Amino acid sequence: MTRGKSRVSDAVWTAFTESLRFIVVPLILLDLVTSHYPQLATAFMSQIEGFVFFFGGMIVASSTLETMHRPGTYKRLLFGMCALTFVGMWLFVVFGGGVAEFSYGPYFVQFDLTKIVYIVLGGVSLKAVLVYLTFSVNRKAEVERARKRRVEEAEKARAGAAHAARRRTPRAHPSPSFSDLSSAEFDVTADHEVGFTPAPYMKDIPKGMKTCEVCGVQSPTKDYVCKNCGSWFPADSVI
């Protein structure tokens, strides 16, 4: 957002300065020259103000659009070249095609400014080379920026599609699993605490043996658990 605002402010400043350079100041100077030296004539003197206003407006528009785009984009290159083309035309018109005539009474003087016009147009051509070099230097960074932007847009599109698919898919109730159960410790309640009364210990069994009250199988008196059914023996039966 900050860079966008910066480009807009640069474009506004460019429009202001280019308007002064190619429209306002030249028209004021032309008015002064034509009013004080009406004997001066060029090939475009009769309509020079219209030409200056037209080509100056095109320069202002092209320069402003050039500034609004990032370096390395084809749009900036295009508008930059257009602005330089209109600058060349503007200079050609202002210099009268390189020939100016001045008459004063019986005297007549002709000025040949062709070489000066060629030198100025050569400077404009060098500026065109600079614009292209700026484009070529920043082109790689602009391509990488565009690639990252496409990747981000594709990721956002995939995320949006996945979110929409999840909203359309009905939720399935999860089945209970051991991972959902609590892992808290717990105490086993003793049999006598829940109302279980052990049967009286039978004395008429072989020495060193005891009978399981659940399944009736005899087991050694030292066993704590019945090997047949797995039930626990009373605490007083373990010897």
- pLDDT tens for 142-165 read 888 888 888 888 888 888 887 777
- Read off the pLDDT of residues 174-216 as tens digits, 9 standing for 90 and up: 555 555 555 555 566 665 565 555 555 555 566 777 788 777 7
pLDDT confidence of 119, banded at 50, 70, 90?
very high
pLDDT score at 98 = 85
pLDDT score at 157 = 85
Segment (H or E) for 152:
helix 114-168
pLDDT score at 147 = 85
Cα(31)–Cα(26) distance, integer angstroms = 9
Partner residues linked to 219 by β-bridges: 210
Cα(115)–Cα(113) distance, integer angstroms = 6
pLDDT confidence of 39, banded at 50, 70, 90?
confident
Contact present, 80 and 66 (Cβ < 8 Å)? yes
pLDDT score at 56 = 94
Average predicted confidence (pLDDT) for the chain: 82
- Read off the pLDDT of residues 63-95 as tens digits, 9 standing for 90 and up: 999 999 888 899 999 999 999 999 999 999 998
pLDDT at 34 over 90: no
Name the phi and psi angles at 208, rounded to 5: 85, 10
Question: Could you tell me the end-to-end alpha-carbon distance of the chain, in angstroms, rounded to an integer?
Answer: 87
CA distances from 137 to 88, 140, 143, 178 (A): 25, 7, 11, 62
Cα(51)–Cα(48) distance, integer angstroms = 5
pLDDT score at 186 = 54
Q: What is the mean pLDDT of residues 49-63?
A: 94
pLDDT confidence of 22, banded at 50, 70, 90?
very high
E strand map for 49-206: 99-104, 107-112
pLDDT score at 8 = 87
